[in-house]
């Protein structure tokens, strides 16, 4: 009776739940993807500055556990950092703590966002925007000094 | 024509089955009603409780056992709402006396079970709950007194661990804020006797272990500063507030926004300076020894959430607390200072590193090894890791440059033409070109063959005996070429793994590799740490080599730096995880064998062919034997690691003590304090593993001949289990 049993109000772990995002390029069913996401040790990290280094990412994300690998996201054309990365942990629990406590905090003065990733595959380190960077930088209208200034659409005007 | 089922009755309407909710739905509904009582309601809590009592009373005939179980669980897991639920039970008891009795019985059963499975914190919550039930007229005061008499009588038991008596006395004392008054009114003589028995126990109980668990070395708690009036540090009110805040964190640690909101809406928040209590409680957990209840980064993020919710007040309280902690660094335990450094640097990185550094100018005139300048140095280094070197130069006043971290650049000894007279210089050049041209491991080996061995008179080209120059040339050159990023360096380690393994085959080889890594990257401690981690994981070096390297004379200059201890503890943790992993593999394989046996037993009852079953078992049994050997070997390596570490500590400390004694100088230098506390830290951080080695430690290392300063640490550790 004792060691078993908890209360649903205490089970809530919303920071660890899956987001709405699903990778459109994922090879496999939605179900497959979700299954992988639920046991993944890899996080996608977004809204990084183009100048944020692997070392900074390692230092911050190392606070929730031992990191297996950091893979920097690159502009497909320029092969330079384009503002995202993947962080893979050895243990799922460490990735969960990153979702609970590092997601939504600052790195390089920017609020970064983490999300579960189904696992790194060659090619996924490249931005999918037409100009080579991330899609979000193709169309944005604002000026962001850490992400190449204006969005590509604005720059081409 | 399709057949109509008989249940589809004649008027064409499908027959409606009477819908009853699933049992689990009902349980969810009841649990929700109970857990969320009073939330989001315009009526008072009292009125909500009355309503809920009515609903539950009506449900008792059908759902009594579910209700009992839920109430017992909230008593155990929602201690911050203690009085809400004791009131509820009181109301139910008034309406249904039998239920009250059954509830108390269920609680006693649950309490016994908690103790059986060593869940002592939850057991204390249950005892407090029972105590408050006296106030709600569910339990009679004499019964509660009798229970406490049972508890306190444990102090009269002989030959029991002190922690056993400690727990029972604590359970009694910590319930008094809720029930002490009532019990004293009804049974004053008995309570007086309990209190005097308790007092006498507290006087005679051993306190040898206490220094190991203290955050502060000052004897008395620091006096209340000027500021808002908080209940006195020894007052019952203070205790109750802090307990409840701790319980809130315990309930909501996974949900930082909820946790922050719950903390800030603590009842009575208009009568007490709640922000101060919250900050104190959070730091109390962060600095708790041996470990915080939750992962350190949780507290950083929780404080940030609290700052978001109270932007006009909480940041100032936090700044004040930081200032107070800084002022007391001289008496703060080294492990706690580590955590303070990590918290403060991470916190600053979320607030553009804004801080009034000039307020801390006093540290600039102190010896760099003193706690305050040391703290600032380490904070700045950690801040740099989260940003970049120039940023740190920019955020501190010019006067602080003496404490600023070094620019984390690599030092390549063969880099300059002016170094061409160095032995191995030409080989280094050759290697550089070869590696840039994507040479293979074999090509590297053949280039390295030309490196003379300074250790030998005649060249021994056949074997690869320890050749420090070869290691130097190769490691310096490779690390220099791969210096661009962690990923570049990891790739380099992977590509030339074979060369590394060969060069570092012997123990001396491993040690020398580590030495060269340090020489190249001494400006970039973070890089050293990740390289050491990678080299252990790829078995280029082993854990014992890392331990020996840390205690080597080459590292003496950095011995008290934070990054060294991060590396050592990370190394120990890797060793521990490795042992657990193989152990788990062994257990899983054994289970597979057992399942296989079971399957065979149930499948072929009439098949007596033992030979075929042996053949099936063969591979698994072999695997188990191999794994068993692997486990033993790993455990032996683990024990050896700890023995090496303790041995080196003893040597180092003894050297210092002898030097001081003969020189007539004071033993308690900043270095000594740091070193002895680092030794304590080894014991505390890994106490579960070390407990297996007590006999060896007592007989081999921590013997009576040892200087009493060092022996005291071991005795403190032993006392923790006494």
Give yes or no for residue B456 having a pLDDT over 90. no
Return the ∠ at Cα B614 (arms to B613 and B620), rounded to 5°: 105
Helix (H) or strand (E) holding A83: strand A81-89
Neighbours of B592 (CB within 10 A): 13
How confident is the model at residue B8, as a pLDDT? 45
Q: List phi, psi (to 5°) of B452.
A: -70, 155
The residues near B690 (Cβ < 8 Å, ≥ 6 apart) are B642, B682, B683, B697, B717
Overall average pLDDT of the A66-71 stretch: 98
CB contacts of B70 in chain A (<8 Å) are 7
How confident is the model at residue A135, as a pLDDT? 96
Q: Which residues of B432-460 are buried (b: 16+ CB within 10 A; e: fewer)?
A: bebbeeebeeeebbebbeebebeeeeeee
- Supply the DSSP string of B594-615, one letter for each residue: HHHHHHHHHH-SS---HHHHHH
Residue B81 structure tokens: 């709402």
Would you call B256 and A66 a contact, using CB atoms and an 8 Å cutoff?
no
CB contacts of B387 in chain A (<8 Å) are 56, 108
How confident is the model at residue B224, as a pLDDT? 62
Q: Which contacts qualify for B156-159: CB closer than 8 Å, 24 or more apart?
A: none
For residue B552, give the nearest of B514, B525, B524 by alpha carbon. Answer: B514
How confident is the model at residue B10, as a pLDDT? 45
How confident is the model at residue B615, as a pLDDT? 60
How confident is the model at residue B20, as a pLDDT? 58
Higher local confidence (pLDDT), B590 or B8: B590
Q: CA A113, CA A46: separation in Å to the nearest integer?
A: 5
Question: Which pLDDT tens digit goes with each residue over B172-194?
Answer: 999 999 999 999 999 999 999 99
Give yes or no for residue B230 having a pLDDT over 90. no
Would you call A105 and B301 a contact, using CB atoms and an 8 Å cutoff?
yes
How confident is the model at residue B318, as a pLDDT? 97
Q: CA B168, CA B179: separation in Å to the nearest integer?
A: 16
Higher local confidence (pLDDT), B455 or B75: B75
How confident is the model at residue B610, as a pLDDT? 55
Share of chain B above pLDDT 90, in %: 85
Question: Which pLDDT tens digit goes with each residue over B281-300?
Answer: 999 999 999 999 999 999 99
Higher local confidence (pLDDT), B417 or A48: A48
Mean pLDDT of chain A, nearest integer: 95
Share of chain A above pLDDT 90, in %: 90
CA dist B657 to B422, B554, B671, B685, Å?
Answer: 40, 21, 12, 25
Rg (CA), chain A: 17
How confident is the model at residue A4, as a pLDDT? 55
Contact A4/B at CB under 8 A: no
**Nearest CB neighbour to A101, from listed B28, B114, B298:** B298
Confidence of residue B614 (pLDDT cuts 50, 70, 90): low
CB contacts of B298 in chain A (<8 Å) are 97, 100-101
CA dihedral A35, A36, A42, A46 (to 10 degrees): -70
The residues near B480 (Cβ < 8 Å, ≥ 6 apart) are B410, B412, B414, B415, B432, B520
Confidence of residue B416 (pLDDT cuts 50, 70, 90): confident
How confident is the model at residue B304, as a pLDDT? 98
CB contacts of A101 in chain B (<8 Å) are 256, 295, 297-298, 300-301
**Nearest CB neighbour to B297, from listed A102, A108, A109:** A102
Q: CA B410, CA B418: separation in Å to the nearest integer?
A: 18
First to last CA, chain B: 84
Domain assignments of chain A as residue spans, ordered by start: 8-156
Residue A72 structure tokens: 């920097």
How confident is the model at residue B232, as a pLDDT? 83
Question: Which pLDDT tens digit goes with each residue over B490-544?
Answer: 999 999 999 999 999 999 999 999 999 999 999 999 999 999 999 999 999 999 9
Rg (CA), chain B: 33
Confidence of residue A1 (pLDDT cuts 50, 70, 90): very low
Residue B465 structure tokens: 């005996």
Alpha helices, DSSP H, located in B412-523? 425-436, 441-448, 468-481, 486-495, 497-503, 507-521
Q: Which of residues 76-115 of A touch B (CB under 8 A)?
A: 97, 100-102, 105-109
CATH topology of domain A8-156: Alpha-Beta Plaits (3.30.70)
**Nearest CB neighbour to A63, from listed B297, B352, B388:** B297
Question: Which pLDDT tens digit goes with each residue over B11-29?
Answer: 444 445 545 567 788 889 9
Neighbours of B336 (CB within 10 A): 20
User: For every residue of B12-46, which 3-state class applies, written as one string?
Assistant: CCCCCCCCCCCHHHHHHHHHHHHHCCCCCCCCCHH
How confident is the model at residue B607, as a pLDDT? 55
Give yes or no for residue B462 having a pLDDT over 60. no
Question: Which pLDDT tens digit goes with each residue over B119-161?
Answer: 999 999 999 999 999 999 999 999 999 999 999 999 999 999 9
ipTM surpassing 0.90, yes or no? Answer: yes
Task: Determine whether A144 is exposed, middle or buried from the number of CB atoms within 10 Å of its CB (0-12, 13-18, 19+).
Answer: middle
Question: Which pLDDT tens digit goes with each residue over B348-386?
Answer: 999 999 999 999 999 999 999 999 999 999 999 999 999
Give yes or no for residue B606 having a pLDDT over 60. no
Share of chain B above pLDDT 70, in %: 93
Give yes or no for residue B697 having a pLDDT over 60. yes
For residue B520, give the nearest of B570, B471, B560 by alpha carbon. Answer: B471
**Nearest CB neighbour to A58, from listed B258, B382, B486:** B486
- Strand A81-89 and strand A42-46: the pairing is antiparallel
Question: Which pLDDT tens digit goes with each residue over A82-126?
Answer: 999 999 999 999 999 999 999 999 999 999 999 999 999 999 999
Overall average pLDDT of the B608-621 stretch: 67
Helix (H) or strand (E) holding A73: strand A67-74
Mean pLDDT of chain B, nearest integer: 92
Which chain B residue has the Cα nearest residue A56?
A: B386
For residue B406, give the nearest of B563, B291, B276 by alpha carbon. Answer: B563
Question: Which pLDDT tens digit goes with each residue over B103-123?
Answer: 999 999 999 999 999 999 999
Q: Considering only B37-46, B289-298, B403-412, which range has the smallest mean pLDDT?
A: B37-46
Sign of CA dihedral B70, B76, B80, B84: positive
């Amino acid at each position: 009776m004792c060691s078993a049993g908890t209360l649903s109000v205490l089970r809530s772990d919303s920071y660890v739940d899956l987001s709405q995002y699903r990778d459109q390029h994922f090879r496999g069913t939605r179900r497959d993807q979700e299954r992988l996401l639920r046991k993944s040790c890899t996080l996608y990290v977004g809204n990084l500055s183009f100048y944020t280094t692997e070392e900074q990412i390692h230092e911050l994300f190392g606070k929730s556990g031992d990191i297996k690998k950091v893979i920097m996201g690159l502009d497909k054309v320029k092969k330079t950092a384009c503002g995202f990365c993947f962080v893979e942990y050895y243990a799922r629990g460490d990735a969960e703590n990153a979702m609970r406590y590092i997601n939504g905090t600052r790195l390089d003065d920017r609020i970064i966002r983490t999300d579960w990733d189904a696992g790194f595959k060659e090619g996924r380190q490249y931005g999918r925007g037409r100009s080579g960077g991330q899609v979000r930088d193709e169309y944005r209208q604002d000026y962001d000094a850490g992400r190449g200034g204006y969005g590509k659409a604005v720059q081409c005007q | 024509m399709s057949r109509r089922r008989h249940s589809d009755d004649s008027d064409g309407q499908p027959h409606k089955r009477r819908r009853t909710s699933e049992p689990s739905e009902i349980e969810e509904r009841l649990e929700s009603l109970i857990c969320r009582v009073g939330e989001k309601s315009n009526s008072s809590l009292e009125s909500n409780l009355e309503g809920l009592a009515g609903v539950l009373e009506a449900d008792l005939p059908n759902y009594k056992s579910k209700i009992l179980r839920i109430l017992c669980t909230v008593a155990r897991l929602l201690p911050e709402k203690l009085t809400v639920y004791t009131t509820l039970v009181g109301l139910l008891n008034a309406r249904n006396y039998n239920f009250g009795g059954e509830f108390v019985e269920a609680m006693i059963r649950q309490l016994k079970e908690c103790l059986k499975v060593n869940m002592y914190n939850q057991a204390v919550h249950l005892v407090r709950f029972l105590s408050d039930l006296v106030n709600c007229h569910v339990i009679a005061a004499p019964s509660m007194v009798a229970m406490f008499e049972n508890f306190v009588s444990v102090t009269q038991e002989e030959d029991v661990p002190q922690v056993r008596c400690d727990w029972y006395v604590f359970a009694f004392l910590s319930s008094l804020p809720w029930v002490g008054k009532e019990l004293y009114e009804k049974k004053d003589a008995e309570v007086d006797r309990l209190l005097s028995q308790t007092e006498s126990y507290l006087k005679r109980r051993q306190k040898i272990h206490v220094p190991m668990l203290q955050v502060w070395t000052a004897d008395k708690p620091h006096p209340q500063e000027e500021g808002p009036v908080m209940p006195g540090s020894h007052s019952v009110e203070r205790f109750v507030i802090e307990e409840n805040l701790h319980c809130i964190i315990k309930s909501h640690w996974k949900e930082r926004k909820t946790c922050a909101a719950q903390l800030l809406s603590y009842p009575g928040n208009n009568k007490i300076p709640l922000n101060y209590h919250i900050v104190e409680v959070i730091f109390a957990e962060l600095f708790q020894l041996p470990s915080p209840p939750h992962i350190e980064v949780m507290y950083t993020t929780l404080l940030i959430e609290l700052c978001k919710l109270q932007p006009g007040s909480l940041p100032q309280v936090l700044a004040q607390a930081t200032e107070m902690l800084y002022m007391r660094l001289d008496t703060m335990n080294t492990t706690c200072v580590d955590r303070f450094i990590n918290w403060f640097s991470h916190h600053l990185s979320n607030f553009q590193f804004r801080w009034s550094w000039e307020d801390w100018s006093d540290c600039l005139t102190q010896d760099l090894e003193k706690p305050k300048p040391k703290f600032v140095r380490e904070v700045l280094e950690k801040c740099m890791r989260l940003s970049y070197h120039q940023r740190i130069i920019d955020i501190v006043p010019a006067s602080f440059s003496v404490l600023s971290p070094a620019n984390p650049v690599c030092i390549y000894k063969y880099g300059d033409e002016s170094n061409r007279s160095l032995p191995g210089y030409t080989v280094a050049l050759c290697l550089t070109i070869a590696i840039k041209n994507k040479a293979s491991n074999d090509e590297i080996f053949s280039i390295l063959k030309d490196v003379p061995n300074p250790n030998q008179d005649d060249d021994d080209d056949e074997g690869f005996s320890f050749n420090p120059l070869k290691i130097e040339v190769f490691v310096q050159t490779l690390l220099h070429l791969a210096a661009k990023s962690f990923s570049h360096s990891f790739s380099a380690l992977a590509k030339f793994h074979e060369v590394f393994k060969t060069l570092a085959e012997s123990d001396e080889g491993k040690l020398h590799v580590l030495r060269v890594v340090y020489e190249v990257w001494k400006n970039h401690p973070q890089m050293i740490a990740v390289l050491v981690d990678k080299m252990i994981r790829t078995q280029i070096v082993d854990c014992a080599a890392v331990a020996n390297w840390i205690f080597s004379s080459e590292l003496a200059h950095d011995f008290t730096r934070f990054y060294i201890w991060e590396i050592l503890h990370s190394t120990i943790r890797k060793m521990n995880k490795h042992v657990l992993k193989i152990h788990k593999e062994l257990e899983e394989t054994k289970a597979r064998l057992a399942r296989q046996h079971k399957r065979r037993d149930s499948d072929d009852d009439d098949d007596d062919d033992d030979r075929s079953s042996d053949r099936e078992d063969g591979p698994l049994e072999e695997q188990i034997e191999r794994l068993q050997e692997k486990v033993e070997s790993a455990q032996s390596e683990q024990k050896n690691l700890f023995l090496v570490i303790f041995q080196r500590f003893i040597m180092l400390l003894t050297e210092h003590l002898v030097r001081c004694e003969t020189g007539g100088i004071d033993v308690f230098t900043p270095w000594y304090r740091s070193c002895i506390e680092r030794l304590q830290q080894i014991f505390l951080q890994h106490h579960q593993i070390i407990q297996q080695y007590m006999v060896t430690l007592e007989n081999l290392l921590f013997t009576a001949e040892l200087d009493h300063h060092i022996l005291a640490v071991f005795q403190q550790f032993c006392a923790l289990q006494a």
